[in-house]
Amino acid sequence: MIGQMLFVPLLALVYLACLFMIAAYGDRAARLGRRLGGPWIYTLSLGVYCTTASYYGGVGIAMEAGLAFLPIYLGPVIAMFLSPLVLYKMLRIAKAYHITSIADFLAARYGKRSKLGILVSCIALIGVAPAIAVQLKSIAVSINLLRSGSVHDAPALANDTALYVALGLAAFTILFGTRQVDATERHQGMVLAVAFESAVKLVVMLAVGGYVVFWLYAGPADLSARAEAAGLDRLLTFDGTGMSGTDWLLMALVGGLGFLFLPRQFQVAVVENQDPGHLTRASWALPAYLLLFLLFVLPIAVAGILQEVPVPDLTILQLPIDHGAYALAVAVFLGGLSAAAAMVVVETIALATIVSNDLVLPFLLRTGWLSVAASADPSRLVLLIRRLAIVLIVLGGYLFFRLVGAHLTFIEFGMLSLLAAAQFGPPILIGMYWRDANWIGAMIGLCLGFAVWCYTLLLPAFVTAGFGGEELLARGPFGIDLLSPHSLLGFRALTPTGHAIFWSLLLNVLGLVLGSLLGHATGLDRTQAEMFVDVWSRADATRMWRGEVRIRDLRDMLQRFIGPERTAELFAADARRLGVRLPLEGRADARLVQTAERQLARAVGSASARALIGSMVKSESIGSRNVMEILDETSQLIRYSRELERKSSELERATQELREANRRLREVDRMKDDFMATVSHELRTPLTSIRAFSEIVRDNPELTEEERENFLGVVTRETERLTRLINDILDLSKIESGRMQWRSAAVSLATAVRDAVDSVTPLLDERKVNLTLDLGRHDLAVQADPDRLEQVLINLISNACKFVAVGKGRIQVVIVETGDQVELRVEDDGPGVPPGEREAIFGKFIQLGDRLTAKPEGTGLGLSISRQIVEAFGGTLRVETSRLGGAAFVATLKAAKPAVDAADAAE
């Protein structure tokens, strides 16, 4: 078997992940402003009508009652053929007034009554539970069948599996549909995924049909011959259904109404519709889709009977398994998962929107609890409510499954939900064409219809499930036969389902009509009614607004729900319309209020929007006013505190930066101070000698000639020293301040070295130093200032001179070419520079040498200046150990095209 414990659940998860990716792709496209849904996608998304109740249950009912599976699909076909009249108008109305759900539609049509919204929400919540239950059941049962192979064990095991399935689907739906509350309530990604699922279940259905007809049997002729031989031709006749013509009509009617007014159908057909023009193709493509979907239902049913499949509802899964076509069985499972997931996702998202916009938010606003709940901005509260609603709706489906699940066929579950949703048909359809239909009539009609549904369809389901009350079912309450759930007023001509349809819709319509005629309609009822009925001419018309709203209140309200930017845009547009300057003040006129309400409706639905606007009008009503104030304060406080937090961290950062800058400044200041003190010391020292010896010569005429010459020699040398020092300091200060005038030329290195050597010859001779040159190519050049380069060379060579031993010291100047770099090395056999001081010696006034003996001559600035000059040429100057044993000062420079070459080229 395909019974590995985790294979099937894992496969299901992988498939759901794929769907999620499709949806994410669609959502991203939507965020980028691209629209993915064309008429085909729209058509396929309408296919969400075919849930597992159709997918598995269609064959199930066909095996028992033949063509009885058909009428609930005839309804949608008729509805699509009539769509230019009905669906098109619904679309126009929904778009004109920013309708977000079916409850919203009804509430808006009937004077924006939140009472009506609440009633619709409750009906939808209860009515949809059976349909969700059947999805959970079918997935759970099919998983267990795939795993165990035995259909008998499957239902028993299904309870737990169904719970996991329920939780999984709820989580999936939350991820899928409530990542953000978008103003339009559109879910492009979801629609894309749903369309994909519709395609998958159709393909699988066709594959199973083909497999059964052409693989298990030798084609349609063979199958029908065998069916005839087995006496199954009754399945193909009208009489074989056990239904009267009235039953057929009623079933078709409820199918059509359900197709239009199930929350999920309204969602995909109306709310998610991107272009009413898509209806043109959908009006024939959807019937075609249904035809293909149902094409093989009867043949498979016949095969199921011939092969004695134990559970009719699972025939399409059982047949491939029995014949070893496991891959097909898995495909069937995935098709069923598609049908179920699509239904659950769309239905719960639609319902969650209804619950939040028409049930919870109006309730919170009215009771004043919103202030307590509004710990964050309202859109997050809305998201939270929707997520909770999704979980509760799916768990409600699970509860229904546990209570009555074992005793209903798949199609019976589906029928329960269809008829519940069909109750919305009369108030919507009649309300779209009859302007006198009012909210009192709608309330009465809905209540009656829903009550009859509960009594004639839901109650018997519970009785069948063993909750007692068989007595009531058979003979009516208190033995009053006329009130029996299956034969009200003794009406027994129909099947129980047809009976329920007949009575519920009849009383619904009667209630609506009589209630509307007798009840009193207020002004707003009338306006709204006219806006719906005359949508073609009235959509953009200005409506009278009774009541006064301050513009400031309106602005504050809008900012909380649609954000400051959109609000500002809206008010700017209004100012342009009125030809006045911003900011707008005083009382809002009708048109502004209407615009604002429409914007709010896009975010929270029209009933909530109405309640919000209303709360501003009735400003003397303490309750709602308090709510708004508290809500206002909370969200503004939160915004302020976030702002404050941001500002204070910015401030802290700025302070930190300032402190750092200050520290650097002090450091620079201290370095400058030290430098000045050092300069002062270096200048005063020669001055001291000069002054002392000058005074000695002045005050001591008796000095010998030799002494006098000696002392004046000191004065001369110290004066020279002072001059060098001043020159160096000036050089350094020019380089560092960027005021040095650099010449730039291609300088032959060999020539520069020879010139420098000429300058230091006296010093070399004096100390009897052995200097050798190894200069390489004559035309090797660098881009530099020739005078400054010579200054560096003189500096390095005379530096070396001072440190080598007098009389036997050796100095070598070497030029090494490495790629586009040139290394100029001045090497000596002196004491060298210890590694720890190799950077320090390039500092200012740093002098090495035997400190216990004589101070080296020089200013202590030479190396610092040399390095800065070399760096100004784009090179580096460092010291390392020489091959001669002493120090090697290495200047690395970028090679330039030699000037000689340039001259040659020019000739």
Partner 1 sequence: MTAPATAEDKRILVVDDEPNIVMSLEFLLRKAGFQVETARNGREALDALDREPPDLLLLDVMMPEFDGYAVCERIRQDQRWDRTRIVMLTARGRESERARGLALGADDYVTKPFSTRVLVEQVRTLLGVA
Residue 32 makes contact with partner 1 by CB under 8 A: no
- Positions 802 through 861 that interact with partner 1 (CB under 8 A): 851-855
Q: Which is nearer to partner 1, 653 or 691 (CB)?
A: 691
Q: Which is nearer to partner 1, 519 or 856 (CB)?
A: 856
Residue 701, preceding bond cis, omega within 30 degrees? no
Residue 718 makes contact with partner 1 by CB under 8 A: yes
Q: Which is nearer to partner 1, 43 or 859 (CB)?
A: 859
Could you say which of 2, 96, 447, 714 contacts partner 1 (CB under 8 A)? 714
Residue 687 makes contact with partner 1 by CB under 8 A: yes
Kindly report the CA angle at 72 between 66 and 73, in degrees rounded to 5? 95
Residue 723 makes contact with partner 1 by CB under 8 A: no
Q: Which is nearer to partner 1, 775 or 846 (CB)?
A: 846
Q: Is the dihedral of CA 23, 26, 30, 31 positive or negative?
A: positive
Q: Which is nearer to partner 1, 590 or 696 (CB)?
A: 696
Integer Cα distance of 3 and 154 in angstroms: 13
Instruction: Find, among 455, 320, 397, 479, the residue nearest to 134 by Cα.
Output: 397
Question: Which amino acid makes up residue 257?
Answer: L
Minimal distance in Å, beta carbon 706 to partner 1? 13
Residue 906 makes contact with partner 1 by CB under 8 A: no
Q: Which is nearer to partner 1, 707 or 904 (CB)?
A: 707
Judge whether 176 and 193 are in contact, CB under 8 Å. yes
Structure token digits, residue 514: 């009589």
Structure token digits, residue 488: 């009200």
Kindly determine how many residues on this chain lie close enough to bind partner 1 according to the rule CB under 8 A. Answer: 25
Q: Pick the stretch among 597-605, 630-638, 694-702, 866-874 that binds partner 1 (CB under 8 A).
A: 694-702
Q: Pick the stretch among 325-333, 588-596, 678-686, 752-760 that binds partner 1 (CB under 8 A).
A: 678-686
Judge whether 384 and 182 are in contact, CB under 8 Å. no
842-880: buried (b, 16+ CB within 10 Å) or exposed (e) per residue? bebeeebeeeeeeeeebbbbbbbbbbbbbebbebebebe
Residue 705 makes contact with partner 1 by CB under 8 A: no
Residue 719 makes contact with partner 1 by CB under 8 A: no
Strands 745-748 and 781-784, sheet pairing:
antiparallel
Q: Is the dihedral of CA 553, 559, 564, 568 positive or negative?
A: negative
The burial class, CB within 10 Å (0-12 / 13-18 / 19+), for 738 is: exposed
Structure token digits, residue 502: 């007949």
Strand locations in 645-804 (E): 745-748, 770-774, 781-784
Element (DSSP H or E) covering residue 821 = strand 821-828
Q: Which is nearer to partner 1, 487 or 847 (CB)?
A: 847
Q: Which is nearer to partner 1, 293 or 711 (CB)?
A: 711
Residue 680 makes contact with partner 1 by CB under 8 A: yes
Judge whether 44 and 199 are in contact, CB under 8 Å. yes
Minimal distance in Å, beta carbon 702 to partner 1? 10
Q: Which is nearer to partner 1, 541 or 677 (CB)?
A: 677
Q: Which is nearer to partner 1, 719 or 783 (CB)?
A: 719
Phi-psi group of 845: left, alpha or beta (phi > 0 → left; psi -120 to 50 → alpha; rest → beta):
left
Minimal distance in Å, beta carbon 791 to partner 1? 26
Residue 700 makes contact with partner 1 by CB under 8 A: yes
Name the one residue in this structure whose structure tokens are 């009912």: 61
Q: Which is nearer to partner 1, 728 or 790 (CB)?
A: 728
Residue 690 makes contact with partner 1 by CB under 8 A: yes
Q: Which is nearer to partner 1, 19 or 679 (CB)?
A: 679
Could you say which of 552, 664, 681, 777 contacts partner 1 (CB under 8 A)? 681
Name the one residue in this structure whose structure tokens are 């006013």: 625
Judge whether 467 and 219 are in contact, CB under 8 Å. no
- Other beta carbons within 10 angstroms of residue 687's beta carbon come to 13
Judge whether 574 and 584 are in contact, CB under 8 Å. yes
Integer Cα distance of 293 and 288 in angstroms: 8
Residue 695 makes contact with partner 1 by CB under 8 A: yes
Q: What is the DSSP letter of 521?
A: P
Minimal distance in Å, beta carbon 697 to partner 1? 11
Q: Pick the stretch among 330-338, 662-670, 681-689, 778-786 that binds partner 1 (CB under 8 A).
A: 681-689
Minimal distance in Å, beta carbon 681 to partner 1? 4
Q: Which is nearer to partner 1, 522 or 700 (CB)?
A: 700
Q: Which is nearer to partner 1, 706 or 765 (CB)?
A: 706
Residue 670 makes contact with partner 1 by CB under 8 A: no
Could you say which of 21, 665, 677, 902 contacts partner 1 (CB under 8 A)? 677
Q: Which is nearer to partner 1, 299 or 858 (CB)?
A: 858
Judge whether 846 and 840 are in contact, CB under 8 Å. yes
Integer Cα distance of 184 and 175 in angstroms: 18
Name the one residue in this structure whose structure tokens are 């969650």: 352
Residue 697 makes contact with partner 1 by CB under 8 A: no
Instruction: Find, among 670, 556, 541, the residue nearest to 615 by Cα.
Output: 556
Minimal distance in Å, beta carbon 807 to partner 1? 22
Minimal distance in Å, beta carbon 703 to partner 1? 9
Could you say which of 236, 692, 773, 805 contacts partner 1 (CB under 8 A)? 692
Minimal distance in Å, beta carbon 780 to partner 1? 42
Could you say which of 180, 367, 537, 688 contacts partner 1 (CB under 8 A)? 688
Q: Which is nearer to partner 1, 854 or 903 (CB)?
A: 854
Minimal distance in Å, beta carbon 711 to partner 1? 8
Q: Which is nearer to partner 1, 566 or 708 (CB)?
A: 708
- Roughly what angle, to the nearest 10 degrees, separates helices 57-65 and 410-422? 100
Q: Pick the stretch among 26-34, 127-135, 617-625, 679-687 that binds partner 1 (CB under 8 A).
A: 679-687
The burial class, CB within 10 Å (0-12 / 13-18 / 19+), for 737 is: exposed
Integer Cα distance of 87 and 93 in angstroms: 10
Integer Cα distance of 233 and 298 in angstroms: 11
Could you say which of 2, 384, 696, 816 contacts partner 1 (CB under 8 A)? 696
Could you say which of 475, 691, 743, 768 contacts partner 1 (CB under 8 A)? 691
Residue 313 makes contact with partner 1 by CB under 8 A: no
Instruction: Find, among 245, 305, 257, the residue nearest to 61 by Cα.
Output: 305
Strands 781-784 and 810-818, sheet pairing:
unpaired
Residue 772 makes contact with partner 1 by CB under 8 A: no
Q: Which residues bind partner 1 (CB under 8 A)?
A: 677, 680-682, 684-685, 687-693, 695-696, 699-700, 711, 714, 718, 851-855
